[in-house]
Chain A
Amino acid sequence: MFIFTYFGSLIVNFIDQLGGIVILASKALINVFKGSFRIKQTIDQFYTIGVTSSFIVILTSLFIGMVEALQIYHGFQKFGAENIIGYTVAVSLGRELSPVFTALMIVARNISAMSAEIGTMKITEQIDAMEVMAVDPINYIVTPRIVATVVMLPFLVALSNVVGNIGGYIVGVFILKVNSVSYIDNIKQYLDLSDLTYGFIKAAVFGLIISSIGCYMGLNTSKGAKGVGLSTTKAVVVSSVAILVADYILSAFLF
């Protein structure tokens, strides 16, 4: 009986939170289509999410590209196919690794901060103050963050693709001594534009999901400083899992 109660409450809680996140995202997006859009706050978020996250995306992407080239080389060498590692690195970065790792980096760097900032505003009655002054907190706080994450994540993925491929090229050509011309030619020959656009679409979807989760967790913070910590942890864990689940669904059914 206890097991049923336990799992039952987990399921109810999951559906409740999922519903809350979807409703919050819908309200935020309705603000965009209604045109009640806050340009200054959105540009601030473009800077926070896009510009200030560039360095960590460059750093991680460089090493992902390098590791990818190294691993693929050792596998492909057995079949004499080491010349196509350039294409393999590019396609795996474009379709999979760049969107997923960049989104995870944004979760670690921005979504956690988003949740903590909104959570602190919630427990210190700043959100209540906004409401009392007849200012919609979703329009003021949530919509700019969701829009900025959805818009900036594909740009960061593009940056990640470029840097990751440079990393792959450095390892492939300078360390593993793969022919430089065939490395580039294989990418030119086999890589489709769709390999990149799929990644950008994934990034935008991930952006919508993780920013909605971050804002929802922040807005539902209670119980003081401990509550801020809890909601931040939940935002990071739930966003990270959601990226992987959404990645599978998008890869399996759409692309």
Chain B
Amino acid sequence: MIEIKNLRKAFGNQVVLNNLDLKIEAGKITVILGKSGQGKSVLIKSIIGTLKPDSGKIMFDNKNLLDMKLPEFNKIRMKFGVLFQEAALFDSMNVFENVAFPVVEHKLINKKNIKDEVRRVLDLVELGDVEEKYPSELSGGMKKRVGLARAIITKPQIIFFDEPTTGLDPIVSYSIAKLIKDMKAKLNTTCLVITHDLDVANLIADFIGFLDGGKIIEFDEKENFFRSNSPIVREFLDAFKGG
């Protein structure tokens, strides 16, 4: 579905992505693990176009996203859903307005059906009567659920999750991870999840990649990944077990 070839991104002298290659399979959950500061968020931002890589290719439906002009790229973006690290809900809007935002902006749904559609996606993310609440009145976990509802209301082909459980307690983290898995099963979407949380990866992943030194140094099906012989991967896995 998405194939990344030789992706490179540097900030000054610091090379964050160093000719990175990655293939994201359609209809699967791919998790990218890695230590902090290894460029996991830079990778996701490069794909969704909020950062411009220095070189390389990001192929989606056999088209290179990096060669596209903004109007063409925006059409592709309509096939993306993104759950940002802190949910990135609009402070000035209530939950209903936040969730409805993309469908209202692009007139994807008839005006009189918007309310029902918002309710439907809020039910999918297991949120009750919160439409009138503002982001400042929500807990971290609820914000993530609202962010996910906003991401899926456009029926995206692929959903990107940037550290979906960061800052959440273990119980809420588990419920969010389970939600991602359920969501994928219900909507049959492709998911790319960036995280450093091994428990989340173990629970939801079909494929796991390990990002280190700006490259994916290990990529395999979940079961095989956990049997990796790579010393760097083993160190990460063992550190998590120890923790």
Which A residues are within 8 Å of any B CB, using their own CB? 120-121, 124-126, 128-129, 131-135
| B48 adjacent to A132 (CB under 8 Å) | yes
CB distance from B46 to the nearest CB of A (A): 12
> Once the chains bind, are A125 and B91 in contact (CB under 8 Å)?
no
User: Which of B76-84, B176-184, B200-208 sits within the interface?
Assistant: B76-84
Question: Given A131-B50, A132-B77, A133-B101, is A125 in contact with B88 using a C-beta cutoff of 8 Å?
Answer: yes
Of A120, A121, A128, A132, which contacts B80 at CB under 8 A?
A132
Q: Which residues of B contact A132 (CB under 8 A)?
A: 48-50, 77, 80, 82
> How far apart are the CA atoms of A133 and B82 in the complex, in Å?
9
Which residues from chain A contact B154 at a C-beta distance below 8 Å?
133
Contacts of B45 in A (CB 8 A): 128
Across the interface, B49 reaches (CB within 8 A) one of A121, A125, A131, A135, namely A131
Which chain B residues (44-85) contact chain A, with CB distance < 8 Å? Answer: 45, 48-50, 74-75, 77-78, 80, 82, 84-85
Per-residue A-contact encoding for B97-125, CB less than 8 Å = 1, 0 else: 00001100110000000000000000000
Which of B88, B106, B154 has the most chain A CB atoms closer than 10 A to its own CB?
Answer: B88
**Within the complex, which residue of A121, A124, A125, A134 is in contact with B74, where a contact is CB–CB below 8 Å?**
A134
Q: Does B197 touch A at the CB level, under 8 Å?
A: no
Q: Could you give 13 example pairs across A and B, Cβ below 8 Å?
A: A120-B91, A124-B88, A126-B88, A126-B89, A126-B90, A129-B82, A129-B90, A131-B50, A132-B48, A132-B50, A133-B102, A134-B77, A135-B102
CB of A129 to closest CB in B, whole Å = 4
Residue B21 is within 8 A (CB to CB) of chain A in the complex? no
Q: Residue B86 contacts which of A121, A125, A133 (CB distance < 8 angstroms)?
A: A125
Contact B48 A124 (CB under 8 A): no
Q: Name the one of A126, A131, A134, A135 contacting B91, with C-beta atoms under 8 angstroms.
A: A126
| Smallest beta-carbon distance A18→chain B, Å | 23
Closest chain B residue to A125, Cβ basis:
B88
- The chain B residues found within 8 Å of chain A, CB to CB, are 45, 48-50, 74-75, 77-78, 80, 82, 84-86, 88-91, 101-102, 105-106, 154
Which residues of chain B are within 8 angstroms of A125 by Cβ–Cβ distance? Answer: 84-86, 88
Chain A residues within an 8 Å CB radius of B85? 125
Q: Does B105 lie within 8 Å of A128, measured CB to CB?
A: no
- Minimum Cβ distance to chain B for residue A120 (Å): 7
Residues of A within 8 A of B86 (CB): 124-125
Q: Which B residues are CB-close (under 8 A) to A134?
A: 74-75, 77-78, 102, 105-106
Q: For the A-B complex with A132-B80, A133-B105, A134-B74 known, give 5 more contacts whose Cβ atoms are closer than 8 Å.
A: A124-B86, A125-B88, A132-B50, A133-B77, A135-B101
**Nearest chain A residue, comparing its CB with the CB of B162:** A125
Chain A residue nearest to B154 (CB atoms) is A133
A134 to B74 Cα, complex, angstroms: 5
- Which A residues are CB-close (under 8 A) to B105? 133-135
How many angstroms between the C-alpha atoms of A66 and B86 in the bound complex? 52
B residues within 8 A CB of A120?
91
Least distance between A132 CB and chain B CB atoms (Å): 5
* Those 8 A-B pairs whose CB atoms lie nearest each other, nearest first: A134-B74, A125-B88, A129-B88, A128-B50, A133-B102, A134-B77, A125-B84, A132-B82
Contacts of A135 in B (CB 8 A): 101-102, 105
Shortest C-beta distance, A60 to chain B (Å), equals: 28
Q: In the complex the two chains form, what is the Cα distance from A134 to B105 in whole Å?
A: 9
Q: Are B78 and A129 in contact (CB under 8 A)?
A: no
CA distance A135 to B50 in the complex (A): 13
Name the distance in Å between A66's Cβ and chain B's nearest Cβ. Answer: 38
A121, A126, A131 — which one has the most chain B CB atoms within 10 A of its CB? Answer: A126
Assembly CA distance A117 to B95 (angstroms): 19
Chain A contacts for B90, CB-based, 8 A: 121, 126, 129
CA distance A126 to B98 in the complex (A): 11
A141 to chain B, nearest CB (A): 10
What's the Cα separation between A124 and B102 when bound, in Å? 18
Measured CB to CB, the closest approach of chain B to A44, in angstroms, equals 9
Least CB distance from B129 to A in Å reads 24
Contacts of B77 in A (CB 8 A): 132-134
User: When chains A and B are docked, how far (Å) is the Cα of A121 from the Cα of B50?
Assistant: 14
Beta-carbon nearest neighbor of B105 in chain A: A135
Residues of B within 8 A of A126 (CB): 88-91
- Smallest Cβ-Cβ distance to B160: which chain A residue: A132
Q: How far is the CA of A133 from the CA of B101 in the complex (A)?
A: 9
Closest to B93 in A: A126
- Assembled-state Cα–Cα distance A126/B89 (Å): 6
